[in-house]
Amino acid sequence: MDPAASMHSFILSMGGLVLLIVLLFLGGQLLPASFAKSVLNLDRRIIYAFVAILVFTPIIKPLGLSFAITKEVQDAYNTIEHLAPGTPIIISSDYGAATMPETHPMYIALLHQCFKKKLRPIILTMVPDGPGITSIGLRTVLQSKNPAGALNYPNLQSGIDYAYLGYKPNATAAILGMVQSFSGTFPTDYYGKQTKSMPIFKDVHSLKDVGAVFDIAAVAMPEYWVNYGTQRTGVPLAVSVTAVSAVQYYPFYRAGQFVGLVNGMKGSAEYEKLVGEEQITGQVGDATKGMDAQSVVHVFIVLSILLANLAIFVQRRTARGATA
Amino acid sequence: MTAAFNPAEMIGTWVAAILTLAMFSFLYKDNPVFKVGESVFLGVALAYGMVLAYYDTVYPQIVQKFTGDDAAHGVMLIFTPIIPMVLGIFILLRLIPRLGWLSRISFAVFIGGYSGIAVPSVIAGTLLPQLTDTMRPFGPGWVGWVTQLILVIGVFATLLFFFFSLEHRGTVGRISRVGVFFIMVAMGASFGNTVMARVSLLIGRFQFLYYDWIQHAILHRS
C-alpha cells in the first residue's frame, strides 16, 4: 500500500474510533437502565434467528457487494500464473468436509487455473477425510463446461496431464519421502496405477523437480511443508488456509517463506475472481456467492458487539447511581 | 431449467439435509433428533477411520510387504514390515499390565526418531527464518519503518511478558504490560478471523440447503 493510502486509512480508522468512543460515552449517559437489562438478558436464540435470516437472505437474493483483491492472494495467483506451461505443481489438499466452504472453492479455482495454463498438477492429500472430497473436486473441474455447453478440458488424461495420488498418512514421513523420491513415496496413484510408468513422473523424480507447492489446508500442514519440504528444496510454497488459522501464518508470508496466502472464504472468493471462474464455467464460484452473506453478518456482529458494550456502560452507570 | 434425476445423489442430498437440520436443532435446545444425528456422525467417522487405517496403512505397509508384487526380502523384510509391526504390537501390550513395559521401547524409538527429525527441521525451517525476518533493516519508507518498529517492540515486550524468572514490577512490569497489549491485539485478530471462519461454515451449509436440497432435490432445478 502506498504511503498516501496508508495515511488515508489510518486517519479514517482513527476518526471512526473517536466517533465510536463518543457514541458509546453519550449512549452510556443517556440510555435508560431498562435498555441495558433487555439487551443483556436477550435470549440467544433471537440472535441465532437474526443470523440465520441474514445469511439466508443474500443467498436467495444476492446483493452483489464488491470486494477487493488483497496482495497476499494476488501474490499466490501470480506465482502459479507465471509458471511455464507443462510445469508440474503439487496441490496438497489437506482439508475435510468440516471446512469445505472455505477451502474447496479455492481447490476448484486452482485446478481451473492449472488446466487453463496447461500446468500439470500432482494432487495429494495428507488428511484422512481428504481423498473423497479431493477426487469429487477434480471430477467437477474435469467435467465442467463453458457457457456454450462444451467441456472445458476435454483432452486431459490422468498420469499425463495430471496425477491424483490420494491419501498418505504421516505428513512428516510423506514430505521427507517426496524430497527424495516421488515413486518411492507414492508407488501407486489413487486408482492403483504404478506411478513409475506415468509420463507425468518421467521428469519429476523428487520435490525439487516441481515448479511450486500449493497447500490448501484446514490443519497445520503448511508448517510441515515449510519445515520438511520447501525450506530444504527452495521450491515456492503458496498456501490457502481457513480463517481460524490464518493469523498464525502471516509471519511466514511476511518472511517470504510463503509466496502467497489465501485466507478463508474471502481469499477463495478473491482467487475465483482472479482465475475468472465465472467466465470459464458460466457460474459464479461458491466462495463468491457466499461473500454477500459474509459481509452482512459481519456488520450484524459488529453492531451486536457495540450494542452489548453500550448496555454494559449503561448498567455500570446505573449501578454507580444506585450505590451513590 | 429441470435438473437430471440421479437417485443415489438425491438420497445422499436428502440424508445430508435432514442431518444438517438435526444438527441445527441443537441451537434451539438439546433434543433426541440432535442426539441421533450426533451418534450417526460418530459412527460413520469411526468406521471411515478404521477402513482408511487398514487400506492406507496396514495393507500397504504390512500385508503387501509380505505378499505383494514388491514384497520385501532378506534384511529389508526384517527392517520394513517386521520390526515396525513388533513395535506396534508392543504399544498394544499396554492393555496387558504385566507386559505394558514393552510399550516403552516403542515410544522410545518413536520419540527419539521423531525428535531427531523434527528439532533440526523446525530450527532451520521456522525459528531461524522468523528470527532473521524480525531483524530485517527498517524501511522502506516511513510505513515500513513504523511497521518494523512496532514488530520489534511487540516481539520484545511479548517475550518479556513470558519471561517468568524476573518479577513483573517496575520497568519489567511496564514493558510486560505493553506485551499484554500486543497479545490482546493478536487475540482480537484471531477472534475476528474465527468469527469469519464460523460464518463461512454456516454459509456453506445454507448454500447446500438452498442450492442442492431445495433447488435441486425438491424443485428439480439445476
pLDDT one-digit tens code per residue, B138-166: 878 888 899 899 999 999 999 999 988 88
In a domain, B13, yes or no: no
DSSP per position, A181-241:
-HHHH-SB-TTS-BSTT-GGGSS--SGGGSSEEEEEESSSHHHHIIIIIIHHH---EEEEE
**What mean pLDDT is reported for chain B?**
90
Per-residue confidence (pLDDT) for residue B81, from 0 to 100: 85
**Is there a domain that residue B153 lies in?**
yes
Q: Do B143 and A257 touch (CB under 8 A)?
A: no
Cα separations in angstroms, B165 against B155, B159, B160: 18, 12, 10
From the list A98, A254, A290, the residue facing B203 with the nearest CB is A290
Cell of B9: 445423489
Q: Inform me whether the pLDDT recorded for A1 exceeds 60.
A: no
Using CB atoms, which residue from B189, B200, B206 is nearest to A264? B200
Q: Residue A154's CB: how many other CB atoms inside 10 A?
A: 8
Tell me the average pLDDT of chain A.
91
| Domain encompassing residue B153 | 137-222
State which residue of chain A sits closest to B55, comparing Cα positions.
Answer: A167
Let me know if residue B176 belongs to a domain.
yes
- Confirm if A109 and A271 have CB atoms less than 8 A apart: yes
Which whole number is the average pLDDT over A166-190?
92
Interchain proximity B203–A60, CB inside 8 Å: no
Q: What integer pLDDT is reported at residue B71 of this predicted model?
A: 77
* B6–chain A Cβ distance below 8 A for any pair: no
Query: To the nearest whole percent, how much of chain A has pLDDT over 70?
Result: 98
What confidence category does residue A275 fall into, taking pLDDT thresholds of 50, 70 and 90? very high
Residue B105 lies in a domain: no
What are the chain B neighbours of A298 within 8 Å (beta carbons)?
A: 195-196, 199
Query: Which is more confident, B2 or A62?
Result: A62
* Alpha carbon A288 to chain centroid, angstroms: 12
DSSP B215: I
Cis check for the bond before B140: say yes or no (omega within 30 of 0). yes
Residue B56 resides in a domain: no
Is B141 among the domain residues?
yes
Mean of pLDDT values over B181-192: 94
Cβ–Cβ contact B143 with A under 8 A: yes
Would you place residue A6 in the very low, low, confident or very high pLDDT band (cuts 50, 70, 90)?
low
Residue B180, in any domain of the structure: yes
Best of A7, A56, A70, A249 to substitute, by most chain B Cβ atoms within 10 angstroms, is A56
Look at residues A101, A53, A140, A158 and name the one whose alpha carbon lies nearest to residue A288. Answer: A101
High-pLDDT (> 70) share of chain B, %: 97
Q: Taking CA B26 as the corner, what is the angle to CA B24 and CA B27, rounded to the nearest 5 degrees?
A: 75
The span from the CA of A239 to the CA of A258, in Å, is 7
- So what's the pLDDT on residue B1? 47
Question: Whole-model pTM?
Answer: 0.89
Domains in chain B, number: 1
Dihedral sign (CA A175, A176, A180, A184): negative
Mean pLDDT of A231-251: 94
With CA atoms as reference, the chain A residue closest to B61 would be A169
Chain B residues closer than 8 Å to A301 by CB: 195, 199
Task: Map grid coordinates 431498562 to a residue.
Answer: A34
Residues in A closer than 8 angstroms to B124, CB to CB, are: 227, 231-232
In a domain, B213, yes or no: yes
Q: How far is CA A27 from CA A18, A300, B93, in A?
A: 14, 19, 66
Report the C-alpha gap between A136 and A107 in whole angstroms: 11
User: Tell me: the pLDDT tens digits for A9-63?
Assistant: 778 888 888 888 888 778 877 888 888 888 889 999 999 999 999 999 999 999 9
Choice among A71-75, A234-238, B24-28, B65-69 with the minimum mean pLDDT: B65-69
Sheet holding A120-125, edge to edge: A163-167, A120-125, A88-94, A212-217, A237-241, A260-263
